[in-house]
Amino acid sequence: MMAAQKTTPDTETRAHKRAFFVSLFDLSWRLLGAMLLPLFIGLYIDSRMSGDGQGFAVGGFFVGMLCGIFAMRYVVRNIAGSKP
């Protein structure tokens, strides 16, 4: 028979640190996609339109901020263990 693996405070601390950094990485790529994608789409639309307007880029920035808030909310809820 195999002996049961003992959990020490050191292994628990390492597991918690690993879970924290995995959650941090998850948050970072979600924020990157949620905030930069609408901004770049707005910049692309502005570059194709005639004139010097930046309306779509600014709109993309605000849409990205809103998406970033929802991405943070999703990740924090997952960390807390409640339903997303």
State pLDDT tens for residues 11-70: 888 888 888 888 888 889 989 999 999 999 999 999 888 677 889 999 999 999 999 999
Measuring CA to CA, which residue among 61, 43, 64, 40 is closest to residue 53?
43
74 or 10, which is more confident: 74
What lies within 8 Å, CB to CB, of 36 at 6+ separation is 64
Assess contact for 34 and 60: CB atoms under 8 A: no
Question: Could you tell me the pTM of the whole model?
Answer: 0.70
> What is residue 67's predicted lDDT score, i.e. its pLDDT?
93
Measuring CA to CA, which residue among 74, 69, 68, 65 is closest to residue 23?
74
